[in-house]
Structure 1
Amino acid sequence: MYLVGFDIAKVSLPDDLRDRPTREVDLNESGTSMASPIPTGTPASNAAVGSEVDLGSNAQRERRRRILDATLALASKGGYDAVQMRAVADRADVAVGTLYRYFPSKVHLLVTALAREFEAVESRADKSRLRGTTSLERLRHVLDMITMAMQRDPLLTEAMTRAFMFADASASAEVDKVANIIDRLLANAMVEGEPTDLDLKIARVVSDVWMSNLVQWLTRRASATDVTNRLELTITLLLAGRDQEPEIRD
């Protein structure tokens, strides 16, 4: 599903591209929360974010997996609005209260699901098999592959991107986790060894440009070709001359 099973090194580019329903979270056009993500009767202080819930037992890990699988399935069929907490609980075969114990809102659900997708990509990434002999070529290949994978399922991409872009401070840990995974994925494509702090900073700039253009594609303000061309310009400007041999002076 989605990025899971996605192998950066094997995918070929096409020629033209290289409920608690009464308290459910909702986002208005400005991205601000219109209702509390915590169900009635559940103190905010007791709401455990999915990454913080004790996942020591196999049953707990399996329950969490089913919840995230259900979230992805619902989002893939109906986008952000289709991910309702009661629907997720029913599909995952868990009680609504249990769902809220793992994830206090659908924003937490979707961002955590996005992190899991990118973790799967990162675990499969083998930089020795990336196409390209330069930093620019390898980074271009990784960006093209991830972008294509996300464009294949626009409803799911819309749901997870919307949650990621408009998450508030309560989901900062999940957002930071996703951002750091993307940074590492891009930085590792740029270098043969371990990425430096500068490599990670460059990767963060590329990631920010990529995410903003993904939003424009989702809102039909940019075509897939536009996204590719803008990313190409960005990485060319950032990495131009990076792999050139240093000039030898007498």
Structure 2
Amino acid sequence: MLFSSDGIQYEHSATYHFHEPALPEDQLTSERQRQRRARILDAAVTVAAAGGYDRVHVRDIADLAKVSLATLYHYFPSKVHVLVWALDRELMRFDDDLAHRLAQIQDPFARLRIVVWRLVKAMEHSDRVTEAMTHAYVASSMVASAEAEMIRVQTSKMFAHLMSDGAVDELHRNTADVLTDVWTSEILALVQGRRTFDEVHRRLHTVIDLIARANEPRCEHGETSLRPPPSRRTTP
């Protein structure tokens, strides 16, 4: 077993390759391969739902997906990779599912508050799967750096897309980047037991309120970014 400085425990085996990226779907050449990859992700979620991160074992995922261990490792170098890619898929599904529900809401920050509330509630509802996926996301910063960056980018894109009403601008992108950084920090605190789901929601909501308040005067004058106000020269 391998341990990081923060006490998080990672699975180790002879076939475990640090920082080796998983095989993305767009590199698969047949529908059969895509279906096999999807089965592995489905199996990972099912196994995670039964007991959380510590109960997820690569062999169990392979058995449930009806593939060999060698085949699973061809697609995903470790259980961290499998769970992080499952998280990426869940974020995309969440984005698709929620987008049409926000169509009547014009205020971008009101949309974002709903997004955060729904996201935290969804995570809490499937707490074992959430624990496994978020634990893997934290672990990915050490053993699957490409996947860690993928989740950061996907989360930021999701926030920006759901905050906007079709056209993502600089305000949406900058707000999403800030919120993603806070979300990542809160996920680490959640995994380490330093936060509850309610606390994560309150802190994210506070960040949204602060950003919205900071942007009100500039938005009124046509500015749509989180840039600091221009410096003012004072005459001696």
State the TM-score bracket (shorter-chain normalisation).
Answer: 0.7 to 0.9
Alignment of 1:216-227 (within 5 A): 216-227=189-200
Q: Residue 208 and residue 49 in structure 1: after superposition, are their counterparts in 2 closer, same or farther (change >3 A)?
A: same
Q: Where does residue 137 of structure 1 map in the other structure?
A: 110
Q: Where does residue 172 of structure 2 map in the other structure?
A: 199
Q: Where does residue 124 of structure 1 map in the other structure?
A: 97
> What fraction of aligned residue pairs are identical, expressed as a percent?
33
Q: Where does residue 246 of structure 1 map in the other structure?
A: 220
Number of positions where the alignment pairs a residue of Structure 1 with one of Structure 2: 220
Once residues 134 and 113 of structure 1 are traced to their aligned partners in structure 2, the CA distance between those partners, rounded to angstroms, is 31
Q: CA deviation at 1:207?
A: 1.9
Q: Where does residue 137 of structure 2 map in the other structure?
A: 164
**Is 236-245 or 201-210 further displaced after alignment?**
236-245
Pairing partner for 1:213 from 164, 186, 209: 186
Once residues 130 and 243 of structure 1 are traced to their aligned partners in structure 2, the CA distance between those partners, rounded to angstroms, is 22
Q: Is the 8 A contact 1:154 1:218 kept in 2?
A: no
Q: Residue 84 and residue 199 in structure 1: after superposition, are their counterparts in 2 closer, same or farther (change >3 A)?
A: same
Q: Is the 8 A contact 1:80 1:160 kept in 2?
A: yes
- Structure with the bigger percentage of helix: 2
Q: Where does residue 154 of structure 1 map in the other structure?
A: 127
1:39 equivalent to 2:15? Answer yes
Alignment of 1:1-250 (within 5 A): 26-28=2-4, 30=6, 36=12, 38-39=14-15, 49-51=22-24, 54-126=27-99, 129-130=102-103, 132-168=105-141, 171-240=144-213, 242=215, 246=220
**Is 165-174 or 90-99 further displaced after alignment?**
165-174
Q: Residue 247 and residue 171 in structure 1: after superposition, are their counterparts in 2 closer, same or farther (change >3 A)?
A: closer
Once residues 59 and 102 of structure 1 are traced to their aligned partners in structure 2, the CA distance between those partners, rounded to angstroms, is 13
1:180-223 per-residue CA deviation (whole Å, 9 max, x = no partner) reads 22112211233334223453232122122223334434544333
Q: Is the 8 A contact 1:110 1:163 kept in 2?
A: yes
Once residues 103 and 236 of structure 1 are traced to their aligned partners in structure 2, the CA distance between those partners, rounded to angstroms, is 39
Q: What code does the residue aligned with 2:164 have?
A: V
Could you say what secondary structure the match of 2:220 adopts? Answer: coil
Q: Is the 8 A contact 2:108 2:164 kept in 1?
A: yes
Once residues 53 and 36 of structure 1 are traced to their aligned partners in structure 2, the CA distance between those partners, rounded to angstroms, is 28
Q: CA deviation at 1:124?
A: 3.4
Once residues 21 and 197 of structure 2 are traced to their aligned partners in structure 1, the CA distance between those partners, rounded to angstroms, is 38
Q: Extract unaligned runs of 5+ from structure 1.
A: 1-24
1:26-62 per-residue CA deviation (whole Å, 9 max, x = no partner) reads 545626776655528xxx59x7623178422121111
Once residues 223 and 147 of structure 1 are traced to their aligned partners in structure 2, the CA distance between those partners, rounded to angstroms, is 10
Once residues 92 and 184 of structure 1 are traced to their aligned partners in structure 2, the CA distance between those partners, rounded to angstroms, is 30
Once residues 200 and 6 of structure 2 are traced to their aligned partners in structure 1, the CA distance between those partners, rounded to angstroms, is 23
1:114-168 per-residue CA deviation (whole Å, 9 max, x = no partner) reads 0111112223343673464412211000110011001111111111111111214
TM-score, length-normalised on structure 1?
A: 0.75
Could you say what secondary structure the match of 1:179 adopts? Answer: helix
Q: Extract unaligned runs of 5+ from structure 2.
A: 223-236
Once residues 34 and 177 of structure 1 are traced to their aligned partners in structure 2, the CA distance between those partners, rounded to angstroms, is 20
